[in-house]
């Protein structure tokens, strides 16, 4: 079964995910899943997320969004700049 890119779009609420410790596992899971769906090397993206997790909440979200922002929209960000 082929997955169409337009079918991969989703919105993710960050309402009850106020710290890196809360969002990090979710972002890793999304990275693996989207990486498989899009047939891209997600392991290097996971390494990047590992590094950015030390730089703060928004930096971690930016790193993820740089790769998957076309597909995932985050809403209810408690630290939106």
Q: Write the CB contacts of 9 (distance below 8 Å, at least 6 apart in sequence).
A: 71, 72, 73
36-to-19, 32, 40, 41, 79 alpha-carbon distances in Å: 26, 6, 7, 8, 29
pLDDT tens-digit series, residues 56-80: 999 999 999 999 999 999 999 887 7
Confidence of residue 81 (pLDDT cuts 50, 70, 90): low
Determine the 3-state secondary structure of 74 from DSSP. strand
Q: Are 19 and 81 in contact (CB under 8 A)?
A: no
Task: Decide if pLDDT at 5 tops 80.
Answer: no
pLDDT tens-digit series, residues 7-30: 889 999 999 999 999 999 999 999
Query: What pLDDT does residue 6 have?
Result: 76
**All structural domains of the chain with their residue ranges:** 22-70
Query: What pLDDT does residue 51 have?
Result: 96
């Amino acid at each position: 079964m082929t997955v169409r890119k337009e079918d991969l779009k989703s919105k993710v609420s960050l309402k009850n995910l106020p710290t890196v410790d809360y969002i990090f596992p979710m972002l890793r899971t999304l990275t693996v899943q989207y990486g498989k769906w899009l047939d891209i090397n997600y392991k290097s993206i996971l390494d990047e997320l590992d590094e950015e997790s030390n730089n703060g909440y928004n930096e971690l979200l930016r790193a993820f969004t740089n790769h998957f922002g076309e597909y995932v929209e985050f809403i209810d960000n408690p630290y939106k700049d």
